[in-house]
Every structure is written in structure tokens, then in C-alpha cells.
């Protein structure tokens, strides 16, 4: 039994077919079939039922697979520890993905260390909306991501980071032209909604959080453009309370208060791949961000 055989088993089960597993592992289907066959022969154990179109674990296969997952988890943990212990040099660069709604003040300490020359590491910050942060982690493009966690994923370590209140607003100039700031009146102008760029499968996802039915809609490519369009009277939409506080005070924007268009809260998480090794700078940054998230959670629970 080898780690390669167990990883082959894992991929066939997760991807649902030998073809999909071979594409993910960049190996031929026959080589995967041989790996599974050798594993079955070693223990005189039938892992998959071949009676159906797609490979399905036998009852014995289910038990073996569950134990295999535990074995792979321990192996990857050990590999990560070994790489981190053996990597004493400072990383040349780090990539961090940020949701556009992240409060940048949380990076003050990190920026101070970078500016002071404490770390020679080159750090790149990139903004991604919706699931972009998680996708960048899974593809290996990013070291960390602070964004909305779309769903649970065993490969990702996640720590609650911040809560962002999204409130519906409209430009003061537009509000004066409407009979009232009610759902019925707002149906005359479009709701501004962010649309994510196509992913590697050429699929486009739109942010469905807070999208109001039976209204006109206008889709934009990023949050900054959404903010500008709402502030300049092209429509209404939800923006973060902290980013529009000044505009509300100056009455450039007006908060919408209607039972049909309510505020909602976005939970941001700091995330990383569990088994991706961290060098010394990455470890410091992760610890700083983790402490920042923990302190926010404690202060908001009081």
C-alpha cells in the first residue's frame, strides 16, 4: 500500500469517475485502474462495484476509504510540519486575497513591519469578490484569503474574522425625485449588483445575497464600481456601513428603510490551505490576522 494508491482512491471517490480523477491528478486512466487493482489485490478486498456506470464504493470499500482519509490527513500534516521545519529561509513573496469589504486598518501592524524592512518578502494584495478568495486558495495562487466562506471545505482552515453590515442606500439626488423611499418607488430604478468574472470553466456567478425580486437590475464587475454608480445616482444597492458612514453624514447617500429591503450581515473569514507549508513571514502574518479576528469576535460578543 502506498500514499499514491490512497490518493488515487481519494480522487476517484471525490471526483466520481476514473476519468475526472485522471484529469485532476494528470495521470492516465489505465494507471489509476492499476493502482486501485493492486490495492485490492494486496488486501484481497473489493473496493468498487463495477456493476454501475460510475464507480461506487462497496460496503467494505466505504470503511477502507474512511480509514484512508485519516491516513492521508496524518501524512499531509506530517509533510507540512517537515517542510516548515526544513524551510528556515524567508519566503520571497506572498499573495493575499482580500474581499473588497475588508477594513484595511487591520493590516496596520503588518504594513509597519514591511515598511520598516523587517521582512524582505514581497507581498501582493489582490481583491476578489464572492468565491474568488476560496478558488485562489484551492488553485494554489494565494497563501491567505479574507473573504466570505461560501461552504465548508476540509482542505481549508478558517477563522472568523469580521462581520460587515450591508445596508441599502441610494443617492440623495435620486431620492428627491422619487415619491418615497419605499419598495414600490424603488422599483423604478435598478438595483446595482456585482457580477463575478468568468471562472476557468467560463461560468459567471452573480452575488445573489440581498438581490430583490421583481426589480430592475444593473450588473457591474466590481464593488468599487458598484459604490461609484450608487453614489452618482445610477441606482440603489447595499454597501458596507463603514464605507458609507461619511457619505451618509454628508447626505450624499440616504439609507433605505423598508421591510422589503433589509440590511444583512456578511461574515468574513481568514482562510488558508491546511497542508500548504508556511514560512516564517507567512506564519507571523497568519498569527497577526488570527489574533485580529479573535479580538473582533470577543469585542462584539460583549
CB 11 within 8 A of CB 35: no
Q: Check if the beta carbon of residue 108 is closer than 8 Å to that of residue 236.
A: no
Are 107 and 182 members of one domain?
no
User: Looking up cell 488570527, which residue turns up?
Assistant: 290
**Rounded Cα–Cα distance for residues 124 and 129 (Å):** 16
Q: Are residues 72 and 104 in the same domain?
A: no
Boundary (domain end) residue, out of 86, 101, 132: 86
pLDDT, greater one: 201 or 142: 142
Residue 86 — pLDDT band, cuts 50, 70, 90?
A: low
Provide the pLDDT for residue 238: 93
In whole angstroms, give the CA distance from residue 38 to residue 5: 8
**Is the same domain home to 255 and 292?**
no
Of 33-37, 76-80, 112-116, 214-218, minimum mean pLDDT range = 112-116
Mean pLDDT of the 28-38 span: 91
Could you give the angle at which helices 18-25 and 3-15 cross, rounded to 10 degrees? 120
Higher local confidence (pLDDT), 295 or 181: 181
pLDDT at residue number 169: 95
Higher pLDDT, 60 or 198: 60
Q: Which residue in 156, 150, 93, 157 sits closest to 125, CA to CA? A: 93
70, 124: one domain? no
In the predicted model, what is the mean pLDDT of residues 69-82? 80
Q: What is the pLDDT of residue 302?
A: 47
Number of domains composing the chain = 3
Asked if residue 225 has pLDDT above 90, the reply is yes
Taking the whole predicted model, whether its pTM rises above 0.75 is answered as: no
Q: Which residue has the higher pLDDT, 122 or 34?
A: 34
Q: Do 119 and 80 share a structural domain? A: no
Single out the residue in 86, 108, 128 at which a domain terminates.
86
Query: Helices 3-15 and 29-43 meet at what angle, rounded to 10?
Result: 110
Q: Does 72 lie in the same domain as 24?
A: yes
Task: Answer yes or no: is pLDDT of 204 > 50.
Answer: no
For residue 287, the model assigns a pLDDT of 87
Please give the grid coordinates belonging to residue 27. Answer: 495521470
CA–CA–CA angle 62, 67, 71 (5° rounding): 145
Q: Does residue 294 share a domain with residue 205? A: no
pLDDT one-digit tens code per residue, 143-180: 999 988 766 788 899 999 889 999 999 999 999 888 88
> What mean pLDDT is reported for the chain?
83
Q: What CA–CA distance (Å, rounded) separates 16 from 204?
A: 24
Would you state the pLDDT for residue 190? 92
Q: Over range 107-111, report the average pLDDT.
A: 69
CATH of the domain at 136: 3.40.190.10
pLDDT tens per residue, range 181-192: 888 888 889 999
**Tell me: the pLDDT tens digits for 254-274?**
999 988 888 999 899 999 998
Q: 281 and 138, same structural domain?
A: yes
**Of residues 43, 132, 94, 64, the one with CA closest to residue 282:** 94
What is the extent of the structural domain holding 235? 164-266
Cβ-Cβ contacts under 8 Å for 22 (sequence gap 6 or more): 28, 29, 31, 32
Quick one: three-class SS letters along 46-86?
CCEECCCCCCEECHHHHHHHHHHHHHHHHHHHHHHHHHHHH
Domain CATH for 19 = 1.10.10.10
Same domain, 59 and 78: yes
Q: Comparing 86-90, 165-169, 211-215, 232-236, which segment has the lowest mean pLDDT?
A: 86-90
CA dist 23 and 207 (Å) reads 30
Amino acid at each position: 500500500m502506498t500514499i499514491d494508491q490512497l490518493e488515487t482512491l481519494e480522487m476517484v471517490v471525490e471526483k466520481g469517475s476514473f476519468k475526472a480523477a485522471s484529469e485532476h491528478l494528470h495521470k492516465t486512466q489505465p494507471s489509476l485502474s492499476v493502482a486501485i487493482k493492486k490495492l485490492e489485490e494486496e488486501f484481497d478486498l473489493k473496493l468498487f462495484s463495477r456493476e454501475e456506470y460510475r464507480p461506487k464504493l462497496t460496503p467494505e470499500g466505504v470503511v477502507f476509504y474512511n480509514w484512508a482519509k485519516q491516513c492521508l490527513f496524518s501524512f499531509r500534516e506530517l509533510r507540512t510540519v517537515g517542510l516548515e521545519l526544513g524551510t528556515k529561509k524567508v519566503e520571497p513573496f506572498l499573495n493575499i486575497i482580500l474581499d473588497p469589504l475588508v477594513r484595511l486598518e487591520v493590516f496596520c501592524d503588518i504594513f509597519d513591519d514591511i515598511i520598516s524592512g523587517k521582512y524582505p518578502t514581497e507581498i501582493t494584495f489582490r481583491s476578489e469578490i464572492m468565491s474568488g478568495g476560496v478558488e485562489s486558495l484551492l488553485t494554489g495562487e494565494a497563501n491567505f484569503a479574507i473573504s466570505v466562506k461560501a461552504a465548508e471545505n476540509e482542505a481549508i482552515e478558517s477563522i472568523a474574522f469580521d462581520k460587515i453590515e450591508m445596508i441599502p442606500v441610494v443617492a440623495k439626488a435620486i431620492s428627491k425625485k422619487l415619491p418615497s423611499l419605499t419598495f414600490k418607488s424603488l422599483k423604478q430604478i435598478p438595483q446595482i449588483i456585482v457580477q463575478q468574472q468568468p471562472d476557468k470553466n467560463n461560468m459567471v456567478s452573480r452575488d445573489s445575497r440581498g438581490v430583490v425580486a421583481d426589480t430592475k437590475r444593473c450588473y457591474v464587475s466590481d464593488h468599487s464600481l458598484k459604490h461609484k454608480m450608487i453614489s452618482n445616482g445610477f441606482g440603489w444597492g447595499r454597501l458596507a456601513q463603514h464605507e458609507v458612514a461619511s457619505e451618509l453624514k454628508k447626505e450624499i447617500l440616504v439609507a433605505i428603510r423598508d421591510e422589503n429591503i433589509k440590511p444583512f450581515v456578511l461574515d468574513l473569514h481568514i482562510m488558508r490551505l491546511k497542508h500548504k507549508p508556511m514560512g516564517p513571514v507567512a506564519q507571523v502574518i497568519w498569527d497577526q490576522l488570527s489574533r485580529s479576528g479573535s479580538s473582533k469576535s470577543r469585542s462584539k460578543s460583549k
